Amino acid sequence: MIHIKEIITKKEMKQFVKFPFSLYKNNKYWVPPIIKDEIESFDKDKNPVFEHAKAHFFVAIKNNEIVGRIVAIINTYETEKQNIKKMRFGWFDVVDDIEVTKALLNKVAKIGRENNLEYLEGPVGFNNLDKTGVLIDGFDHIGTMITWYNHPYYSKHLEQLGFKKEKEYIENKFPFKNIQIERYQKASSIIKRRYELTALNFTSTDKIMPYVDEMFELFSKTYSKLSTYVPISNAQIAYFKKKYISFINPEYIKFVVDKNHKLVAFAIVMPSFSEALQKANGKLLPFGIFHLLKARKNSKDVTFYLIGVHPEYQNKGVTAVIFEEFHRVFKARGIENCIRTPELEDNHAIHQIWKDFNPKIHKRRRTYKLDL
């Protein structure tokens, strides 16, 4: 018999977070989170995402063991301000037992109906900065710290239960050597002169912080027309600043400003922490932090995390300025591979940015929808 239990206590939350560690034990492609950070991200008193979100955390128990987990999420900005009657689910992990999947999703569906919502969609997080999608192709490639990994049977379970494809995402990568810098240097010079633009480079985090609020304003302008967009509050921006910006190499954050020093483009790249997180195995102490710091300094792979261009400057080649600046840093650091985070399959504007680098799609993921 399968029992669905709601997570209430801190001890139970730790069990919730640690369940995938047993599910993916000895899987060389799964990248574990830092347990302490994951628990804190689910703390309503610490993560400001809960200003605009309600969440219920559940585990499935069978024979006195946890065999699945899920988070039921209502983004109240989405349901009340945007009038999108969506019940979200995320952090979905299960053993290969469709009855477990069914029991967990039935619990989420019940909450959706009780709140007069019209459909389920997932796996998704609270907003656009969270992980999204169930992996449907590329199981033999290592994950990243900003994506979920899962077993191949996840999508089969969802489809057997009547869920239909909602959105599809692609992930691609390309060798650093594919960047033909001579071409971008010439284009960058012309574009900076034509539009009176300047690239900003940083050697310390303190100098970046004054631009972060403006960067998120630009992020909103860049992505607001996408079907997945949900606004990010000022409190969430402050949380992001504190938790993440200070850990990103300052030279991996690039801004482009106009003659009035207004931000027109930005990009954030992170060194790959995947192997370091595997070695840390969920713990910063005693040695996990050293693996992460080593990766921060020495990783030969980088992940393009966020990139945004003001609508007025899109299709004007401004990304050439960004790529020229990154090329200088990557060459000095001996970077070998550039990896892209998930992109909507129909986001053709973002695909155009990378086309000249001959990227190869190595993963696909998908969100699924079920009408209530």
Tokens of 64: 């006195």
With beta carbons less than 8 A apart as the criterion, state whether 276 and 289 touch.
no
What's the pLDDT score for residue 228?
Answer: 65
Q: How far apart are CA 27 and CA 334, in angstroms?
A: 28
pLDDT tens by residue, 153-181: 999 999 999 999 999 999 999 999 888 88
**Confidence (pLDDT) at 101:** 98
Query: Quick check: 353 pLDDT over 90?
Result: no
- Strands 65-75 and 301-309, bridge-based pairing: unpaired
Q: What is the pLDDT of residue 226?
A: 65
**Could you check whether 2-172 and 174-362 share the same CATH topology?**
yes
Token couple for 218: 């630009």
Does residue 274 register a pLDDT over 90? yes
Report the topology of domain 174-362: Aminopeptidase (3.40.630)
- Judged by DSSP in three states, 209 sits in helix
Say what the pLDDT of residue 67 is. 98
**Cβ-contact 285, 38 below 8 angstroms:** no
Where exactly are the structural domains of the chain? 2-172, 174-362
Structure tokens at 95: 């053993």
CB 58 within 8 A of CB 107: yes
For 81-128, the pLDDT digits (tens) are: 889 999 999 999 999 999 999 999 999 999 999 999 999 999 999 987
For domain 2-172, the CATH architecture is: 3-Layer(aba) Sandwich (3.40)
pLDDT band at 221 (very low <50, low <70, confident <90, very high): confident
Q: Give the pLDDT mean for 332-359.
A: 87
Say how many C-beta atoms besides its own lie within 10 A of residue 76's C-beta: 13
